[in-house]
Amino acid sequence: MLDVSNISLRFGGVKALTDISFHVNEGEIFSLIGPNGAGKTSMLNCISGRYKPQEGAILFDGKDLLARSINDRAKIGIGRTFQNLALFSHMSVIDNILVGRHHMMKNNFLTGMFYWVGGAQKEEAEARAEIEDIIDFLEIQHVRNEPAGSLSYGLRKRVELARAIAIKPKLILLDEPMAGMNLEEKEDMARYVIELNEQYGITVVMIEHDMGVVVDISHRVAVLDFGQKIAEGLPHDVVEDEQVKTAYLGVDDFSLDDEKEAM
């Protein structure tokens, strides 16, 4: 579904990514891991369109992504969430979710003026019904009319996920979906990621620092270090890789040993 070939990205003298290649199969949960500054968010930004790499190619369903704008990429089925929440804090939860969806609708401000005679009314009704499903799925009914800014961090992350799902993506890019969460919130979020993958059939590319979660829910993992890919494979194999262990040496959140002890 996603084919990343020989991507290199530089910011002046800083080499953020060097010759990165990997592919993601349809239906997979694929995690990108690596120490701070390894280039994970930069890679996600190349896929979503925020950054334009100097070299390489990215194909999505065989289509050349790098030639397309951010909006076009969303329209052909790529959704994303951000490392730092990107919600409109004064708007209600439901309106935050609808914002994502409205962007995708065929009817716009002008056609919307003919709301009752055109297809806009039907399209709006369909969008609302689908959004109700997403609200149920993410268990945010009780806060649907609250301003997004008034919610706890864990709930805001769920609203952001709801907004990303509302554009009906085939592929979703999740940038640290569990960051800053307590254990219970992490377990909930892990369950949502698995369910959106299994029930909604959405392919997932995820950056996540919590190694226990990565190993538990990913089908495959790629590891970046200093902008280079140092490993790729099944989660358990990757975390046992000597080069990966060295890259994480001294990093507190490489907690697989803790996970093992806890099991």
Ligand X SMILES: Nc1ncnc2c1ncn2[C@@H]1O[C@H](COP(=O)(O)OP(=O)(O)OP(=O)(O)O)[C@@H](O)[C@H]1O
Binding site for ligand X (CB under 6 A): 11, 14, 16, 34, 36-42
194 phi, psi to nearest 5 deg: -65, -45
- Closer Cβ to ligand X, 134 or 207, answer by number: 207
- Closer Cβ to ligand X, 42 or 96, answer by number: 42
Nearest to 149 by CA among 88, 95, 100: 88
CB of 92 to ligand X, least distance (A): 30
CB of 42 to ligand X, least distance (A): 3
CB of 229 to ligand X, least distance (A): 12
- Closer Cβ to ligand X, 11 or 109, answer by number: 11
CB of 14 to ligand X, least distance (A): 5
- Closer Cβ to ligand X, 70 or 113, answer by number: 70
Give Cα separations from 263 to 178, 184, 203 (angstroms).
Answer: 20, 17, 29
Nearest to 220 by CA among 4, 31, 38: 31
- Closer Cβ to ligand X, 53 or 235, answer by number: 53
CB of 207 to ligand X, least distance (A): 7
CB of 134 to ligand X, least distance (A): 27
Distance CA 42, CA 50 (A): 9
- Closer Cβ to ligand X, 36 or 199, answer by number: 36
CB of 254 to ligand X, least distance (A): 12
Give Cα separations from 136 to 133, 177, 225 (angstroms).
Answer: 5, 19, 39
- Closer Cβ to ligand X, 123 or 210, answer by number: 210
Is there a contact between 202 and 174 (Cβ–Cβ < 8 Å)? no
Nearest to 156 by CA among 146, 166, 165: 146
